[in-house]
Amino acid sequence: MVEALTHAAAHSGADHAGNGHASHVSLQYHPGLPIPNGKLIVWLFLSTEIMFFAGLIGTYIVLRFGAPTWPMPHEVHLSEPIGAFNTFVLICSSVTIVLALEAARASQSTSAKGWLLATLALGSVFLGVKMYEYNAKFAHGIYPWRPHSLIYEKADLNYAAAVRLRLEALKSQFDAEDSSLKAALDPEALETDSRVVTLREKLAVVDDEIAYEKKAEITAATDPLNAERHVALEDLADRIMPLVHDGGEEHGLNDAHEWLRLPIRIPGGNMWASTYFLLTGFHALHVLIGLIVFTLMIPMTLDVARAGFVENIGLYWHFVDLVWIFLFPLLYLF
């Protein structure tokens, strides 16, 4: 286009004159907010994080209140005291990081470092307790991934079948061990040997459970219209792990004999596991990231110059804390 070209010609004079990284001036601005850019972008980042967890928590709420039934804390081995303790730990860590900031502002690098380490320690305690809680779940076969966990939604025939399979597996295993022991030990030692004794006890348990299971399965399977059907299966499930609706704990076979690990019946248990590990998992991940940053900060000298940085990571840490403040009642109390 002609015009543009003529303009180009007109301006090209000024152009090479000011092709000007050479005369590079450092510019001044009029900032819209009286805070450093670093702090602003951290706030903005946290707002995206809020939306992220809003998505997760929203999912939890929708799924939970959409579900026909939802397990009681005890049924999924969720202990409020432990959760409360962890909440307390996190809140303390929020305090310590603030103290670290104050110290840094006063250029008392060493005490700042101290508070930072305290925060680091508390955060690690939180994660440690989480690990412990997770282990408790795994120990009871409560987890949301393949191979299929021990959770079954309802006590139906394929639940019973699963129980039978587990029992038969145990039996054959024990029989094998028994015979190998027989071979190893000489007959008179056999009766007194502790291993043999415990093994025999276990076998006894398994045997009579197998017998019970057979009976239940048969009553259930034989004629479907029989009212006994459900009763039998429910009883089977209750023997293994009773549902606690009044919150009072009863003990089932699985609790009596840790090694049994029979399939358990928890209505809504699978969905519970999915959401529980989703929410706490992503939160734990955020805690972990915070701890990593803290560790990286240990070699630094935390004086006024670094105060801004301490403040920003502090903001992040408060956020992680806040998320937990939401998660705890949501997952443990309601």
Partner 1 sequence: MSSTTADSHAHEHAPAAGRAQIGKFLSTYVFSRDHKIIGIQFLFSTLIWFLIGGLLALGIRWQLAWPWAEMPVIGKMLFSAEGGQISPEFYTVLFTMHATVMIFFVIIPILAGAFGNFLIPLMIGAEDMAFPTLNMLSYWFMWPAFFAMGSSFFVAGGAAKSGWTSYPPLSLTDLNGQTLWLIGLTFVGVSSMMGSINYMTTIIQMRAPGMTMFRLPMTIWAMFITAILQAFALPVLTAAGFMQLLDRLLGTGFFIPPGWTAGNAAMASGGGQPLLWQHLFWFYSHPAVYIMILPAMGMVSDIISCFARKPLFGYKPMVYSIAGIAGLGFIVWGHHMFISGMNPALGMTFMVSTMMIALPSAIKTFNWLGTVWGGNIRFTTAMLFALSFVSMFIIGGLSGIFMAATPVDIFIHDTYFIVAHFHYVLFSGTAMGVFGAIYFWYPKMFGRLMNEKWGKVHFFFTFIFLNGTFFTMHILGAVGFPRRLADPYHYQTFAHLQSLNIFMTWCAIGMVSVQSIFALNFILSLFLGPKAGRNPWHANGLEWQAPSPPGHGNFDFQPVVYRGPYEYGSPEVDTDYYPQTQPVPEKELIPAPAAH
- How many other β-carbons are positioned within 10 Å of the β-carbon of residue 63? 16
Q: In the bound complex, what is the minimum distance in angstroms from residue 273's beta carbon to partner 1?
A: 8
96 or 149: CB nearest partner 1: 149
Q: Which residues bind partner 1 (CB under 8 A)?
A: 1, 3-5, 7-12, 14-15, 17-33, 37, 40-41, 44-45, 47-49, 51-56, 58-59, 62-63, 66-67, 144-146, 148-149, 151-153, 268, 270-271, 273-275, 277-278, 282
Biggest alpha carbon–alpha carbon distance for the chain: 114
Q: In the bound complex, what is the minimum distance in angstroms from residue 283's beta carbon to partner 1?
A: 13
34 or 248: CB nearest partner 1: 34
215 or 230: CB nearest partner 1: 230
SS3 assignment, position 106: coil
| Structural tokens at position 69 | 């039934």
Q: In the bound complex, what is the minimum distance in angstroms from residue 200's beta carbon to partner 1?
A: 35
Q: In the bound complex, what is the minimum distance in angstroms from residue 56's beta carbon to partner 1?
A: 5
- CB-based contact 108:307 (threshold 8 Å): no
- SS3 string, 221-280, reads HHCCCCCHHHHHHHHHHHHHCCCCCCCCCCCCHHHHCCCCCCCEECCCHHHHHHHHHHHH
Q: In the bound complex, what is the minimum distance in angstroms from residue 331's beta carbon to partner 1?
A: 16
37 or 110: CB nearest partner 1: 37
Q: In the bound complex, what is the minimum distance in angstroms from residue 259's beta carbon to partner 1?
A: 24
44 or 305: CB nearest partner 1: 44
Q: In the bound complex, what is the minimum distance in angstroms from residue 125's beta carbon to partner 1?
A: 27
26 or 192: CB nearest partner 1: 26
Quote the Cα angle for 200-201-203, to 5°: 65
- Residue 155 parent element (H or E): none
Quote the Cα angle for 330-331-334, to 5°: 60
25 or 227: CB nearest partner 1: 25
- CB-based contact 82:133 (threshold 8 Å): yes
- Please tell me the distance from the alpha carbon of residue 312 to that of residue 316, in angstroms, as a whole number: 6
- CB-based contact 310:100 (threshold 8 Å): yes
- Please tell me the distance from the alpha carbon of residue 248 to that of residue 189, in angstroms, as a whole number: 44
